[in-house]
Homo-oligomer: A and B are copies of this chain.
Amino acid sequence: MKASLLILGIMITNSAYSQENTAISKEIIALEKTALERWNHGDLKGYLELYAEDIVYFDPMIDKRMDGLKKLTEYYKQFEGKINITEYEMIDPRVQAVDNMAVLTFNLNSVEGNQVYRWNCTEVYMKNSENKWKIIQTHWSFVKPDLN
């Protein structure tokens, strides 16, 4: 009897955990896809509006981690109107989450002209004081850059 109650308890706990995580996963992935699709058409504000003030950022073009929305906004200006991704595939997005923080990871193939760019991506989201998810950390890197 005790064992079956324990098992029931674990099942309920796991189920609640899964459902909550599924809801957070769906929300986070939807936010990311919306920002990414805007980016693909040269609209940088999808991401800029999703970034927290204290975002930290890596990509393969910068020397060192970039800190803060102000610097990142300045850095992004060079890409304004210069992006035209015609196809993309977000591969196997996965969200690991607690109530107020979540990490989204995925691979991304982006097609621009005749080139396919293959990316690794890690986004960390945190809920802000208005209960809205904001990105506090972004890490973009190329898949196997030495072999490109």
One of B58, B124, B143 near A124 (C-beta < 8 A): B124
Q: Tell whether, in the assembled complex, residue A137 and residue B96 are in contact, meaning their CB atoms are under 8 Å apart.
A: yes
Tell me the A106-130 residues at the B interface (CB within 8 Å): 106-107, 120, 122, 124, 126
Q: Tell whether, in the assembled complex, residue B120 and residue A139 are in contact, meaning their CB atoms are under 8 Å apart.
A: yes
Asked whether A145 and B64 contact (CB < 8 A) given A124-B103, A136-B96, the answer is no
Q: Tell whether, in the assembled complex, residue A56 and residue B120 are in contact, meaning their CB atoms are under 8 Å apart.
A: no
Q: Which residues of B contact A56 (CB under 8 A)?
A: 94, 96, 105
What's the least CB distance linking A36 to chain B, in Å? 17
Q: Tell whether, in the assembled complex, residue A120 and residue B141 are in contact, meaning their CB atoms are under 8 Å apart.
A: yes
Q: Which of A94, A101, A142 has the most CB of B within 10 A?
A: A101
Nearest residue (CB) in B for A141 is B141
In the complex, whether A67 has a CB less than 8 A from a CB of chain B is: yes
Q: Tell whether, in the assembled complex, residue A98 and residue B96 are in contact, meaning their CB atoms are under 8 Å apart.
A: no
Q: Which residues of A contact B (CB under 8 A)?
A: 54, 56, 58, 60-65, 67, 91-92, 94, 96, 98, 100-101, 103, 105-107, 120, 122, 124, 126, 136-137, 139, 141-146, 148
